[in-house]
Amino acid sequence: MARTPRSTAAEAAAALSATPAETPAAPASQAPRTRTSAIDRAVQILDALQEANRPATAYEVARMVGAPLSTVYSIINDLVEKNLLARRLDGTIWLGSRLYGYGLTYASSLDYLAVANEEMQRLSAEVEETVQVCGLEEGMMIVLQMAEGPGHFRVTSRVGSRVPLNWTASGRLLVGHLPDAERIAFFAEHAQASPTGRAETRPKVLAQIARDALDARLSIQIGESDASVACLAAPVLDNTGTCVFTISIVMPEAKAVLGTERYAQAVQDVAARIEARLGWRHREQGATA
């Protein structure tokens, strides 16, 4: 892929903020169009395509983000011109090659994910189950990395997928370090009913579960988000006691019902080893609120 001059980054930002034609200044009673609103719309488009995990037409994208087709089409054209989006032969839009370069640069700067990936692969081979590394993004749990187990059982989630925190073992750990009031407020805003109807949704109850799980350095959920899936997760805490990410074993519910002790110990040991490798102090107890 040919390199582009550094100045194109500024050009891309300017293109996102530009309107189709120069217009007189808006009256004081009207909110002016700003660079931020145009960038927000571009991010919505990128997020929508990532969530759909497939190419889409401009019309479909406009429906996904709830914006006028003319607005979305204009921004798509700008993004295509900068290789942030790509227009396929059938006219659909997909993520552009420039994003791949950004992603590689970003990933290479995150040493903790490199360490987590090594330990994730090792743990998956040891327990012969799917292992995930998960983080927090905009009130949701996001799958950062995943190593599939060798068996026939396959997890439906993929890297980049987001799930409500109260559905998952990892999700609760990711906010377990927050003060009590913040945890309650967080779950009050973000908790959702799960497809099975078995996920807890009461904010105060979730806040306590999250704190207890962090203190125990282990969170277990069985059949709350999916009737056939169980998950055991351990938090990875930095020196401040913040849960930076989690590592979890995802397995069939039927197997978890027979016993989780071996898996629980394995995932806790790996989380502790990641902390040690990163120079983060391994705490025997959770951080104080």
The pTM of the full predicted model, rounded to 2 decimals, is 0.62
The residue ranking higher by pLDDT, 27 or 194, is: 194
What's the pLDDT score for residue 109? 63
Residues in a beta bridge with 251: 230
Inform me whether the pLDDT recorded for 31 exceeds 50. Answer: no
- 11-20, 54-63, 150-159: which has the highest mean pLDDT? 54-63
Chain mean position to CA 121: 19
Confidence bin at 230 (pLDDT 50/70/90): confident
* 137-146, 152-161, 268-277: range with lowest mean pLDDT: 152-161
Among candidates 161, 126, 137, which has minimal Cα distance to 273?
126
What's the pLDDT score for residue 2? 41
Kindly report the backbone phi and psi dihedral angles of residue 38, in degrees, each rounded to the nearest multiple of 5, phi listed first. -70, -40
What's the pLDDT score for residue 106? 72
What's the pLDDT score for residue 252? 84
Strand blocks (E) in 85-199 = 85-87, 93-95, 130-137, 140-147, 162-164
**pLDDT single digits (tens) 71-129:** 999 999 999 999 999 999 999 999 999 998 887 777 666 678 888 999 999 999 999 89
Confidence bin at 182 (pLDDT 50/70/90): very high
Inform me whether the pLDDT recorded for 35 exceeds 70. Answer: no
Distance CA 252, CA 242 (A): 30
What's the pLDDT score for residue 22? 36
Confidence bin at 27 (pLDDT 50/70/90): very low
What's the pLDDT score for residue 221? 87
- Kindly state the tokens that stand for 169: 């073992």
Inform me whether the pLDDT recorded for 51 exceeds 50. Answer: yes
The residue ranking higher by pLDDT, 20 or 204, is: 204
What's the pLDDT score for residue 73? 92
Measured between alpha carbons, how far is residue 31 from residues 34, 37, 74, 254 in Å? 9, 11, 20, 56
What's the pLDDT score for residue 289? 33
Measured between alpha carbons, how far is residue 52 from residues 61, 64, 71, 94 in Å? 10, 9, 20, 10
DSSP letter, residue 152 = S
Name the strand (E) or helix (H) holding 65: helix 58-65
What's the pLDDT score for residue 105? 78
Name the strand (E) or helix (H) holding 222: strand 219-222
The residue ranking higher by pLDDT, 242 or 19, is: 242
Name the strand (E) or helix (H) holding 235: strand 229-237
The residue ranking higher by pLDDT, 233 or 226, is: 233
Distance CA 148, CA 11 (A): 41
Instruction: State the Cα torsion 7-11-13-18 to the nearest 10°.
Output: 160
What's the pLDDT score for residue 121? 92
Confidence bin at 152 (pLDDT 50/70/90): low
* 36-40, 104-108, 265-269: range with lowest mean pLDDT: 104-108
Crossing angle of helices 35-52 and 7-17, in 10° steps, is 100
Which class for 252: exposed (0-12), middle (13-18), buried (19 or more C-beta within 10 A)? middle
**Domains of the chain by start residue, with CATH:** 7-21+33-102 (1.10.10.10), 110-278 (3.30.450.40)
What's the pLDDT score for residue 19? 37
